[in-house]
């Protein structure tokens, strides 16, 4: 006996039981062990940060990253799945600062690095348990017992090896550059970090008057960062563009680009008929070069004078555009890469009136103010002094720190860089070897990023991170990269180097002797970008090259990775960058890029908006399989996913519910018959057509789903499963239900059981990687309960292989036509308002080909039609009438319109329609003029002949004869009575095989019909006796085709 199955579709509790079964029986470990001799298929898990909680987007990444490895394992591969934790970086430091009530680097150093680092180590594991529970609930299988951890010394030592390799290639250097800088965190950011933090902001820009020396005129320049104006040392024009000197309606004389004068000056209020400006002179940008102007702020002039450098004159550079502004750009070399290049070209003074905390310095009138807060004060002061022409609001994308949400500033400082520009061609070439899903990301977003790659700002002026492994001589400045503990021990002569923790402040205590001058070398103070940590995981997780050399080489590159689209400039990039630098090859072969999860209205989820979905609540409400299924079938994985409960529940009902109910149906009747599938074999040659059709569809589905998963086509695989389960339940089981009701255990019944059993087992194995919980539960009951030799879990089984000998495409095509005819027949019944329980005499069908009697019988039975008649043409059963479409006919045949109307009204509709279909037009003459009317020239009215209803599409047309004979009407009553009795059986919870007594009271007409058809009714409802005018245990009044009748049912013993 199989375990009885509930049809309750709340699967959450069942999933917990399956999760417990996996855990207690080490199923994941066994799945790995069972494939240890198989070919390696490597999957890299992008490490999450355990000091942040999982969100709903992590469900999507987890279910994709779980499904492909499950599939490959069932295909016979050894799939290493080492979990990892990303543990370094600003997020952790910010969390600890908040915990300790600290604000910024000064307070951290006052608190003490040793205790601060200790708190960081504690913080990274804050939500570890939550992540592990979350992963288990989702069904994400990975080695959580032995994960890689980016703060472990072995991991760091591998990174040191990598950085030493990069150093030895001359690609790691220290440079004074304009870098994106977070004043809150006190550290520069890499370009790929900056790319993740842009926001659209509206703020005041400034159009400023710069007084020309020796003239009563002004240069008009525009800037979106007013806080940089106190550090202005030059102006810049485009050398090839045309500039003008104009007298404006506001009384000033300005220099600016001719192309932008209307945009800037055209709005000045003037008297009627007086122009907004008058052009006095025209010149090229080069004509303005070296023209001097007065410093905007006195402090800037003083600073320039101290440097003994000339400033405050016009420079030329072709980066100046004519798209906006005035065509004149203000230059502050401390705050922009273009500005810095101009500064170097003209040897301009370097003025940086902003400190490392983003505050204006003491030299300015705005000392101590954060740069963005200083903007309004600067604009007010300039306006008071007559130096502000305008301060228009300007909307643009501005970078914010992706960790602490502080506005970034571009800031000149010394940093360490990896020279990625030197390997640009290698990056581009390696990227072309990757199968990007979708391809457009690899070629577009990621490919374009690589084409325009910048050097990687690798250093961070922080504390909790992998220390940069460069030691520098305090005296002569000689620098040396250290690639291992062993090397550090040799250079330092200190045995402590073997065991010292490779973090600040401990590693900073190890000093070396300079090989050049003999003085002391100390480690530079910086740590590295934590994105380097995650990009190092392919080799650092194995402590390569110090250990596991062969293991790493067997698992590199990965065959598969997957993360959200924002990782194109995060993990995907750091992986590709480091792999190219170290091994000059792509680190992954296939990558599925995932879209972001949005709310049901397509909006980004956020706590502040109140539209964020708690993943734990969602999993507790719908269950893991339902959410997994939703993400697989809803849309292509790279598109944004609108997550909402209704859609999840619809998918649960449509696919999971259908599969479960089909399984429950099988168990119900198998237990009634004490059927055990292990005692029988599927004998294909003995099967009827319906069974062969299901097995053909099954093997076609297995073949196609396997191909889709093999090629990472996830929605297509899900749809293949969905379609098969729908046809198995709503066609095969419904058509074959009575075979399971038959008495005894005849061959036909065995065939039905074995066919459905085979389909359920195979499709569950096929779907196991996608919905691991439900398929496991079905397998354990359906297979393992009776077959002790079967694998312990469905996830220890091989993925099914299609049996090509069972695939019969002709059979599938015939049944597809049957289904198409049935769909149209049902539509015709609905149009005629005739229930399916009312038999109909005849239905005419026009289809691609005439079906054999077996299939014709199915259509007749399914549609409750006595005779289905195939015809090559059904147009004679329909009448057509035509009118001219005045919109098209009028312009062509205006004078003949009356004659056209007359001809069409008198034409034989059927003949005219045949001509239209055959020739593409109806042709005739009116007053000697040849008329040709195509379908777009005609208004066609289709009318069925009396008693006929037509429905059709491009493939199938059916015509239903709705004329009902008295015999057909009586039969309709019989089917209605049977339906009412079956409903009552269900309502009072009778078992399927319970026999009953039936009473029909209060309607002589119904009683007479029941008496005349007693035998047929009794067989259908398992009635041992049918009586009239008798009260039974359960009575109910019904309306049967307009006749009121009371029907009673009562269970009886047989």
Our answer to whether residue 559 is catalytic in this structure is no
Strands 597-598 vs 938-944: parallel, antiparallel or unpaired: unpaired
Contacts 24+ apart (CB under 8 A), 611-618: 612/55, 612/56, 613/56, 613/643, 614/56, 615/54, 615/55, 615/56, 615/58, 615/59, 615/134, 616/134, 616/137, 618/56, 618/59, 618/643, 618/645, 618/648
Please state, as a whole number, how many other Cβ atoms lie within 10 Å of the Cβ of residue 771.
27
Please state, as a whole number, how many other Cβ atoms lie within 10 Å of the Cβ of residue 24.
8
State CA 669 to chain mean position distance.
Answer: 41
Contact 587, 556 (CB under 8 A): yes
Element (H, E) at 959: strand 957-961
Crossing angle of helices 714-727/624-633, nearest 10°?
110
Closest of 16, 134, 14 to residue 615, by C-alpha: 134
- Residue 98 and residue 107: Cα distance in Å, rounded? 12
Q: Of the listed 66, 86, 339, 529, which one is catalytic?
A: 86
Q: Of the listed 22, 222, 402, 531, which one is catalytic?
A: 531
- Residue 86 and residue 148: Cα distance in Å, rounded? 9
Distances (CA, A) of 374 to 367, 378, 1010: 9, 6, 93
Q: Of the listed 267, 345, 604, 686, which one is catalytic?
A: 604
Q: Of the listed 141, 456, 471, 571, which one is catalytic?
A: 571
Contact 187, 416 (CB under 8 A): no
Closest of 590, 620, 603 to residue 59, by C-alpha: 620
Element (H, E) at 909: helix 909-919
Closest of 433, 573, 625, 541 to residue 148, by C-alpha: 541
Q: Of the listed 36, 384, 393, 607, which one is catalytic?
A: 607
Phi, psi of 370 (to 5 degrees): -65, 140
- Check residue 669 and give left, alpha or beta (phi > 0: left; psi -120 to 50: alpha): alpha
- Residue 482 and residue 472: Cα distance in Å, rounded? 11
- Residue 470 and residue 476: Cα distance in Å, rounded? 15
Our answer to whether residue 567 is catalytic in this structure is yes
Our answer to whether residue 375 is catalytic in this structure is no
Our answer to whether residue 141 is catalytic in this structure is no
**Which residue do the tokens 């087992």 mark?**
761
Distances (CA, A) of 237 to 205, 246, 478: 19, 16, 42
Our answer to whether residue 119 is catalytic in this structure is no
Our answer to whether residue 82 is catalytic in this structure is no
Q: Of the listed 47, 80, 188, 295, which one is catalytic?
A: 47
Q: Of the listed 555, 559, 567, 817, which one is catalytic?
A: 567
Contacts of 886 (CB under 8 A, 6+ apart): 897
Our answer to whether residue 994 is catalytic in this structure is no
- Cite the active site residues: 47, 86, 531, 567, 571, 604, 607
């Amino acid at each position: 006996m199989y375990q009885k199955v509930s049809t309750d579709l709340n699967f959450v509790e069942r999933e917990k039981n399956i999760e417990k079964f996996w855990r207690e029986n080490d199923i994941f470990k066994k799945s790995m062990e069972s494939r240890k001799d198989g070919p390696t298929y490597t999957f890299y898990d992008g490490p999450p940060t355990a000091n942040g909680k999982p969100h709903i987007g992590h469900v999507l990444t987890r279910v994709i990253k779980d499904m492909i490895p499950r599939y490959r394992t069932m295909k016979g591969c050894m799939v290493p799945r080492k979990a990892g934790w990303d543990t370094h970086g600003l997020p952790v430091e910010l969390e600890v600062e908040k915990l300790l009530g600290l604000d910024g680097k000064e307070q951290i150093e006052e608190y003490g690095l040793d205790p601060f680092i200790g708190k960081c180590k504690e913080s990274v594991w804050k939500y570890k348990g939550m992540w592990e529970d979350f992963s288990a609930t989702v069904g994400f299988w990975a080695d959580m017992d032995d994960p890689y951890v980016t703060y472990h010394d072995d991991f760091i030592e591998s990174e040191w090896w990598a950085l030493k390799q990069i150093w030895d290639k001359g690609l790691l250097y220290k440079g004074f550059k304009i870098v994106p800088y977070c004043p809150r965190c006190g550290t520069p950011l890499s370009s790929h970090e900056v790319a993740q933090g842009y926001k659209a902001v509206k703020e005041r820009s400034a159009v400023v008057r710069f007084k020309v020396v020796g003239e009563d005129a002004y240069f008009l320049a525009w800037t979106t960062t007013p806080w940089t104006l106190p550090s202005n040392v030059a102006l810049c024009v485009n050398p090839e563009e045309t500039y003008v000197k104009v007298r404006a309606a506001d009384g000033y004389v300005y220099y600016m680009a001719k192309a932008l004068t209307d945009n800037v000056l055209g709005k000045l209020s003037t008297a009627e008929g007086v122009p907004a400006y008058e052009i006095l002179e025209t010149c090229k940008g080069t004509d303005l070069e070296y023209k001097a102007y007065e410093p905007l702020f006195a402090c800037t002039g003083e600073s320039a004078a101290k440097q003994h450098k000339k400033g405050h004159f016009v420079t030329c550079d072709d980066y100046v555009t004519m798209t906006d502004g005035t065509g004149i750009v203000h230059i502050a070399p401390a705050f922009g890469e273009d500005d810095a290049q101009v500064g170097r070209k003209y040897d301009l003074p370097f003025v940086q009136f902003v400190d490392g905390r983003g505050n204006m310095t003491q030299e300015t009138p705005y000392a101590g103010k954060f740069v963005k807060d200083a903007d309004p004060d600067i604009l007010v002061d300039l306006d008071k002094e007559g130096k502000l022409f305008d301060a228009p609001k300007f909307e643009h994308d501005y970078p914010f720190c992706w960790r602490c949400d502080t506005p970034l500033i571009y800031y000149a400082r010394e940093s360490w860089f990896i020279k990625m520009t030197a390997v640009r061609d290698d990056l581009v070439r390696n990227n072309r070897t990757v199968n990007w899903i979708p391809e457009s990301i690899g070629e577009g977003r990621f490919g374009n990023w690589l084409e325009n790659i910048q050097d990687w700002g690798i250093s961070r002026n922080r504390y909790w991170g992998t220390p940069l492994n460069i030691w520098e001589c305090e005296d002569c400045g000689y620098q040396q990269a250290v690639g291992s503990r062993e090397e550090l021990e040799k250079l330092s002569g200190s045995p402590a180097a073997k065991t010292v923790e490779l973090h600040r402040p401990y590693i900073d205590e190890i000093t070396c002797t300079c090989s050049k001058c003999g003085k002391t070398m100390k480690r530079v103070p910086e740590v590295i970008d934590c994105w380097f940590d995650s990009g190092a995981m392919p080799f650092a997780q194995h402590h390569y090259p110090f250990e596991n050399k062969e293991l790493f080489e067997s698992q590199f590159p990965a065959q598969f990775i997957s993360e959200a689209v924002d990782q194109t400039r995060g993990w995907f990039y750091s992986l590709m960058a480091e792999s190219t630098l170290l091994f000059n090859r792509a680190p992954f072969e296939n990558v599925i890029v995932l879209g972001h999860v949005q709310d049901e209205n397509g909006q980004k989820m956020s706590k502040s908006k109140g539209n964020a979905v708690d993943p734990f609540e969602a999993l507790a409400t719908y269950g893991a399989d339902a959410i997994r299924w939703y993400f697989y079938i809803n849309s292509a994985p790279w598109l944004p996913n609108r997550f909402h409960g209704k859609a999840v529940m619809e998918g649960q009902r449509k696919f999971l519910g259908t599969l479960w109910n089909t399984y429950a149906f099988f168990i119900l009747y198998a237990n009634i018959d004490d059927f055990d599938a292990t005692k029988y074999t599927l004998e294909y040659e003995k099967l009827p057509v319906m069974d062969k059709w299901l097995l053909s569809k099954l093997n076609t589905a297995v073949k196609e789903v396997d191909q889709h998963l093999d090629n990472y086509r996830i929605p297509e695989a899900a749809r293949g499963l969905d379609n098969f389960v729908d046809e198995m339940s709503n066609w095969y089981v419904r058509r074959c239900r009575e075979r399971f009701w038959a008495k005894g255990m005849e061959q036909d019944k065995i065939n039905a059981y074995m066919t459905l059993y085979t389909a359920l087992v195979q499709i569950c194995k096929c779907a196991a990687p996608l919905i691991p919980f439900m398929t496991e539960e079905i397998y354990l009951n359906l297979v393992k309960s009776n077959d002790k030799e079967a694998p312990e879990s469905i996830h220890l089984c091989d993925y099914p292989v299609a049996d090509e000998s069972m695939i019969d495409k002709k059979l599938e095509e015939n049944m597809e036509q049957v289904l198409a005819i049935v769909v149209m027949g049902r539509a015709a019944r609905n149009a005629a308002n005739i229930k399916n329980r009312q038999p109909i005499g005849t239905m005419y069908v026009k289809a691609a080909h005439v079906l054999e009697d077996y299939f014709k019988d199915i259509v007749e039975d399914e549609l409750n039609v006595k005779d289905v008649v195939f015809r090559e043409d059904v147009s004679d059963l329909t009448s057509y009438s035509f009118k001219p479409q005045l919109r098209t006919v009028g312009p062509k045949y205006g004078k003949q319109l009356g004659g056209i109307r007359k001809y069409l009204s008198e034409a034989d509709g059927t003949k005219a329609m045949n001509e239209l279909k055959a020739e593409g037009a109806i042709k005739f003459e009116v007053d000697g003029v040849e008329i040709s009317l195509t379908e777009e020239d005609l208004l066609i009215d289709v009318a069925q002949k009396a008693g006929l209803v037509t429905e059709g599409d491009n493939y199938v047309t059916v015509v239903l004869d709705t004329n009902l004979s008295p015999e057909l009407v009586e039969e309709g009553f019989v089917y209605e009575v049977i339906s009412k009795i079956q409903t009552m059986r269900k309502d009072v919870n009778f078992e399927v095989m319970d026999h009953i007594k039936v009473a029909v009271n209060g309607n002589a007409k119904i009683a007479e019909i029941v008496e005349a058809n007693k035998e047929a009714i009794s067989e259908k409802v398992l009635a041992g006796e049918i009586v009239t005018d008798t009260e039974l245990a359960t009575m109910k009044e019904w309306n049967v085709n307009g006749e009121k009748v009371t029907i009673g049912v009562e269970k009886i013993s047989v």
